[in-house]
């Protein structure tokens, strides 16, 4: 039997990923009692550092950067350091059924050219990258502002692939672009909003090389666990693992959670950090707004997979393939002393690949390196995982302007927090989760303090 507070200043946090841990720490710092309920048997959420195949691997979130302000603050707080993923000696890319070769720089040049259509309006669309809907908020300021807002909405209705087709690039550039964004979106480039890609560009100073550096270059020396375990140690209240929440009852004054085993716990407020793909497993009373319910049913554009592959020999490679292939982006990450290499790969559809299937890994590796021998592979199917239902959250067409922001206010003592609903690195990196953990906790703190004012 677990113990929990009955204090009127008790707050419940659902989920012990980055958003939940940060929210709990922030609330405790303001003097509130916090109980965290986590469905899994571990903390970290979609960040999961584990030793497999003889190396420390990130099964979920991986790369960080000093231009991601929230995660960099936590790295500074806990004394965490970074090291680079290796630059590669050889690049392979598949186009029209043919495998071509060159340097990593050659592939980067192709990508830079292919991205021009997506990057074209990014500076106008996102004058303040961490306030991504500014263009819509200023719509009534002038006829010019109204015209820009209309273009903004129209861009949201276009897929990232359609924008690039309209730019008139070659099939080779389309295939390279498709490989890059099907991996980045973790899903179908025909249904992913072009605004999400443009937003990434704005967060990277409109530079393709900086976008790559932020999302694929630097890793934590001690792994993601070096931060999430440190945050957890700073939390005084209980973190109950293997304790799923099945129902959240909420109104303007109080909230209550019902656990999967039927127990109920009252609180002044609840912060729910379950990602969009897992919200179908929680009943909300009263129900969430009709639009939010639609978004939960539709889910995000994230249907993909991440795989780690171990091969014989030291191969310093980066590879790309269009989205009709199971893995569309792959790069060398670890060179082991036994002469093997571990590579990380991403694909748009988790259903196409068993992540521990060596024969399947052998088949897709051979399309780039014919004489390669795969000795092992591993990963975690986040889409099939009940408690995530997705990898990182990526945005469907139409959902950038009419989607994620609906979760940012319920009008009750229920709050949502998680990378899926961040203003900055929305959906995709730990930075967004930390942002939302802070902002949602501060909203709760402000509400509870306002209640105490006579």
What is the Cα–Cα distance from 298 to 417, expressed in whole angstroms? Answer: 19
In this prediction, residue 1 carries a pLDDT of 40
Does residue 5 register a pLDDT over 70? no
Is a pLDDT exceeding 70 seen at residue 453?
A: no
pLDDT given for residue 6 in this prediction: 55
Check pLDDT > 90 for residue 420. yes
* Mean predicted confidence (pLDDT) in 298-323: 97
Reading the block at residue 291, the tokens are 């639009």
Nearest Cα to Cα of residue 125 among 86, 83, 154: 154
Query: pLDDT digits over 121-156, tens only?
Result: 999 999 999 999 999 999 999 999 999 999 999 999
CA-wise closest residue to 311 among 335, 285, 277: 335
Q: What percent of the chain has pLDDT above 70?
A: 98
User: CATH 3.50.50.60 spans which residues of the chain?
Assistant: 10-46+223-298+392-452
The more confident residue out of 1 and 135 is: 135
pLDDT tens digit sequence for 35-79? 999 999 999 999 999 999 999 999 999 999 999 999 999 999 999
**What is the mean predicted confidence (pLDDT) over 413-419?**
97
Q: Over 60: is that where the pLDDT of 3 sits?
A: no
Cα–Cα dist 422/436, whole Å: 6
CB 224 within 8 A of CB 209: no
User: What are the strands, taking DSSP E only, across 237-364?
Assistant: 239-240, 245-250, 255-259, 264-267, 269-272, 283-285, 305-312, 317-320, 329-335, 340-347
Q: Count Cβ atoms below 10 Å from residue 449 Cβ, excluding itself.
A: 12
The domain 10-46+223-298+392-452 is placed in CATH, from the list 3.20.20.150, 3.40.50.150, 3.50.50.60, 3.40.190.10, at 3.50.50.60
Distance CA 9, CA 27 (A): 10
Two tokens, residue 362: 């052998």
β-strand pairing of 33-37 with 264-267: unpaired
Please tell me the predicted confidence (pLDDT) of residue 300: 95
Per-residue DSSP letter, 350: G
The confidence score (pLDDT) of residue 4 equals: 55
Residues 6+ apart with CB under 8 A from 452: none
**Residue 141: CB atoms within 10 Å:** 11
- Residue with structure tokens 């419940």? 12
> Percentage of residues in the chain with pLDDT exceeding 90?
96
> E strands of 135-282, at which residues?
218-220, 239-240, 245-250, 255-259, 264-267, 269-272
Q: How confident is the model at residue 276 (pLDDT cuts 50, 70, 90)?
A: very high
Neighbours of 452 (CB within 10 A): 8
Distance CA 311, CA 254 (A): 55
The mean pLDDT value of the chain amounts to 95
Read off the pLDDT of each residue in 207-235 and give the average, rounded to a whole number. 96
Tokens of 382: 């986040």
């Amino acid at each position: 039997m677990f113990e929990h507070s009955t204090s009127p200043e008790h707050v419940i946090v659902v989920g012990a990923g980055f958003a939940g841990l940060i929210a709990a720490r922030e609330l405790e710092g303001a003097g509130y009692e916090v109980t965290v309920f986590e469905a899994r048997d571990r903390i970290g959420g979609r960040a999961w550092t584990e030793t497999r195949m003889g190396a420390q691997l990130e099964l979920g979130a991986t790369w960080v950067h000093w231009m991601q302000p929230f995660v960099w603050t936590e790295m500074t707080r806990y004394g965490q350091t970074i090291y680079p993923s290796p630059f590669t000696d050889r690049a392979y890319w598949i186009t029209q059924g043919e495998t071509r070769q060159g340097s990593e720089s050659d592939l980067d040049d192709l990508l830079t050219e292919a991205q021009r259509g997506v990057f074209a309006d990014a500076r106008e669309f996102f004058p303040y990258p961490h306030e991504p809907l500014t263009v819509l908020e200023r719509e009534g300021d002038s006829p010019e502002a109204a015209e820009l807002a209309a273009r903004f909405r129209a861009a949201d209705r276009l897929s990232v692939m359609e924008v690039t087709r309209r730019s008139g690039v070659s099939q080779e550039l389309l295939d390279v672009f498709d490989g890059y964004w099907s991996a980045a979106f973790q899903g179908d480039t025909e249904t992913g909003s072009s605004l999400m890609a443009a937003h990434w560009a704005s967060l990277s100073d409109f530079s393709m090389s900086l976008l790559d550096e932020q999302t694929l270059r630097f890793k934590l020396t001690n792994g993601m666990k070096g931060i999430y375990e440190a945050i957890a140690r700073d939390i005084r209240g209980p973190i109950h693992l293997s304790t799923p929440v099945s129902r959240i009852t909420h109104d303007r004054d109080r909230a209550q959670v019902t656990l999967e085993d039927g127990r109920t716990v009252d609180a002044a407020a609840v912060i729910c950090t379950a990602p969009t793909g897992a919200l179908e497993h929680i009943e909300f009373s009263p129900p969430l707004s009709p639009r939010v319910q639609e978004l939960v049913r539709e889910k995000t554009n994230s249907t993909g997979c991440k795989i780690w592959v171990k091969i014989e020999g030291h191969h310093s490679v980066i590879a790309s393939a269009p989205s009709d292939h199971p893995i569309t982006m792959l790069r060398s990450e670890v060179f082991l002393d036994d002469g093997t290499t571990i590579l990380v790969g991403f694909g748009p559809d988790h259903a196409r690949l068993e992540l521990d299937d060596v024969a399947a890994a052998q088949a897709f590796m051979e399309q780039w390196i014919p004489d390669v021998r795969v000795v092992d592979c591993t990963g975690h199917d986040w889409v099939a995982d009940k408690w995530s239902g997705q990898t990182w959250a990526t945005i469907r067409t139409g959902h950038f302007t009419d989607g994620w922001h609906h979760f940012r206010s319920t009008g009750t003592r229920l709050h949502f927090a998680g990378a899926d609903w961040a203003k900055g690195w929305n959906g995709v990196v730990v930075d967004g989760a930390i942002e939302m953990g802070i902002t949602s906790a501060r909203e709760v703190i402000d509400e509870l303090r306002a209640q105490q004012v006579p």
